[in-house]
Amino acid sequence: MELIYKSTRNANETATASMAILKGLADDGGLFVPDSLPKFDVSFEDMAKMDYRQVAYEVLKLVLTDFTKEELMYCINNAYDSKFDTDEIAPLVKKSDAYYLELFHGKTIAFKDMALSILPYLLTTSAKKNNVENEIVILTATSGDTGKAALAGFADVPGTKIIVFYPKNGVSPIQEKQMVTQQGDNTFVVGITGNFDDAQTGVKMMFSDKKLNAYLAENGYQFSSANSINIGRLTPQIAYYVYAYSRLIASGEIKSGDKMNVVVPTGNFGNILSAYYAKLMGLPIDKLICASNDNKVLYDFFQTGCYDKNREFILTTSPSMDILISSNLERLIYRIAGNDAAKNAELMQALSSKGEYTITDEMKNELKDFYAGYATEAETAATIKRVFEADGYVIDTHTAVASKVYNDYKEKTGDTTPSVIASTASPYKFTRSVMNAIDASKDSKTDFELVDELTAISGVKVPQAIEDIRTAPVRHTTVCDKEDMEKVVKGFLGV
């Protein structure tokens, strides 16, 4: 049966999966959501015998229903190949406190690779299916990791250009170096004098600017998005939760049907929303544990039912979670409002005009599966040290936020359900913060000296992504004010 996607702000705006992937954002500024979620039609015992690619197919065939099997297999096989440094693609490793689902074995060593290695294939296949002749311009705002993963995914993909905006002073040195050294004639990277929310707002404005879009079309271009507002990113992320569950069965840790919890370090709410979709599709997830850093707008929302972005934006050591406007929360709001686009649109209008909205008690009742917590900077650092001392295992700052929130949860509730922590980045991506947490006496060393220290204590080989940037030349130097993003885009496109 064909699955139809609808805008969260207008029940009449619908699209097939491939059209929704091409457009990224609905015309009315809403996000595309599936109008219902189909149930898995293969047993979890059977999935326990499959590899990552096969599990991904079992998921994607249910949510990208206008793709043929051949098209999906083409996309999956080209995405999840030797670009990943392990055949398992997303290994589940058992440590003393929980299972860590390592989502950082792709090209840019963060979990964004899980979706961004397949998105270019999904997007170019969608263009072909819909007879699109314009060149596709991927516009992306990044808090650090999406940018590099999208650049790596789209570099030199025929028929596409990619333009990435990042907060000039809001990403880690390694994240910045990774982006500004990006190869590929179709890649453009811009630092903006503003924070991530400024970058994301600027990009969303260009998407919904009808005049700009018409002007681009005259010149043979159309925009699409590599941010997690695109269902081409959300849907592949469902697969690794199913895969994690199937590995728990395969290793005899649980029986099919037993519950698991998931713990997700959260920023734009894309990763945890994918877990929620997996649950709606029948994956036996009990609690969805949402972990925030000091930018705890989501924690406050789950406590009070009031989403309030009017607060100080705090730069932390987990920069990919430094976000005050969690875009994908809109998809959850739409759902708990009973798939009511008008009600959701009203709340999102309040968010953009007043910076806050409050949900009804009835809607709040629908959030019982979620638990939220947050970790301060000191707690995050202490957690990295604790896990290292207990298990000799080095986790990154984002994963540490999740680990801390999970341990608080366990203490508070006594819940011993097997729990999977989404491990969203390699510690090598945030080497300085990680090494500072473990041994602050090394702080005077350079970033690359710290990389070598990290290898020495963890025994984990330096990932290729880090080796690559040790000596790579800087290719991108554009910096602009947040007001000038459109001008910069036109300049790159020569229109």
Q: Which is nearer to ligand PLP, 425 or 469 (CB)?
A: 425
Evaluate whether 200 touches 141 at the Cβ level (below 8 Å). yes
C-alpha torsion sign, points 178, 179, 181, 187: positive
Name the minimum Å distance from CB 264 to ligand PLP.
7
Q: Is 109 left (phi over 0), alpha (psi -120 to 50) or beta?
A: left
Q: Which is nearer to ligand PLP, 190 or 298 (CB)?
A: 298
Q: Which is nearer to ligand PLP, 101 or 127 (CB)?
A: 101
In angstroms, rounded to a whole number, what is the distance separating the alpha carbons of residues 417 and 28? 41
Residue 293 found at the interface with ligand PLP (CB under 6 A): no
Q: How many residues bind ligand PLP (CB under 6 A)?
A: 17
Name the minimum Å distance from CB 384 to ligand PLP.
14
Q: Which residues of 354-380 are buried (b: 16+ CB within 10 A; e: fewer)?
A: eebbebeeebeebbeebbbbbbebebb
Sheet containing strand 92-94, edge to edge, reads 92-94, 99-102, 419-423, 260-265, 285-292, 370-374
Q: Which residues of 32-53 are buried (b: 16+ CB within 10 A; e: fewer)?
A: bbbeebeebebebeebbebebb
Q: Which is nearer to ligand PLP, 132 or 192 (CB)?
A: 192
Residue 227 found at the interface with ligand PLP (CB under 6 A): no
Binding-site string for ligand PLP from residue 424 to residue 443, where x marks contact by CB under 6 A and - marks none: xx------------------
Name the minimum Å distance from CB 216 to ligand PLP.
27
Residue 344 found at the interface with ligand PLP (CB under 6 A): no
Binding residues for ligand PLP restricted to 126-145, rule: CB under 6 A: 145
Phi/psi at 295 (nearest 5 deg)?
Answer: -80, 75
Q: Binder to ligand PLP among 320, 380, 383, 403 (CB under 6 A)?
A: 320
Residue 398 found at the interface with ligand PLP (CB under 6 A): yes
Which range of residues in 174-182, 269-277, 446-454, 470-478 is near ligand PLP by CB under 6 A? 269-277
Q: Binder to ligand PLP among 17, 137, 321, 381 (CB under 6 A)?
A: 321
Evaluate whether 436 touches 411 at the Cβ level (below 8 Å). no
Q: Binder to ligand PLP among 80, 245, 269, 299 (CB under 6 A)?
A: 269
Token pair of 334 as six digits? 């739409």
Cross-strand pairs, 100:
93, 421
Q: Which residue has the tokens 């030199």?
A: 156
Cross-strand pairs, 356:
308
Q: Which is nearer to ligand PLP, 47 or 164 (CB)?
A: 164
Q: How many CA within 13 A on the CB side of residue 480? A: 19
Which range of residues in 1-9, 109-117, 252-260, 365-373 is near ligand PLP by CB under 6 A? 109-117
Q: Binder to ligand PLP among 34, 167, 236, 267 (CB under 6 A)?
A: 267
Which range of residues in 25-33, 69-77, 110-118, 431-439 is near ligand PLP by CB under 6 A? 110-118
Q: Binder to ligand PLP among 117, 172, 178, 268 (CB under 6 A)?
A: 268
Sequence-ordered list of residues with C-beta below 8 angstroms from that of 439, at least 6 positions apart, any chain: 453, 457
Name the minimum Å distance from CB 220 to ligand PLP.
32
Name the minimum Å distance from CB 494 to ligand PLP.
32
Which range of residues in 18-26, 260-268, 372-380, 410-418 is near ligand PLP by CB under 6 A? 260-268
Question: C-alpha angle with apex 230: 229 to 236, nearest 5 degrees?
Answer: 115
Q: Binder to ligand PLP among 107, 112, 204, 279 (CB under 6 A)?
A: 112
Phi/psi at 323 (nearest 5 deg)?
Answer: -145, 135
Binding-site string for ligand PLP from residue 239 to residue 258, where x marks contact by CB under 6 A and - marks none: --------------------
Q: Which is nearer to ligand PLP, 30 or 270 (CB)?
A: 270
Q: Which residues of 99-133 are buried (b: 16+ CB within 10 A; e: fewer)?
A: bbbbbbbbbbbbbbbbbbbbbbbbbbbbbebeebe
Question: C-alpha angle with apex 395: 261 to 85, nearest 5 degrees?
Answer: 95
In angstroms, rounded to a whole number, what is the distance separating the alpha carbons of residues 199 and 176? 15
Name the minimum Å distance from CB 113 to ligand PLP.
10
Q: Which residues bind ligand PLP (CB under 6 A)?
A: 110-112, 145, 228, 265-271, 320-321, 398, 424-425
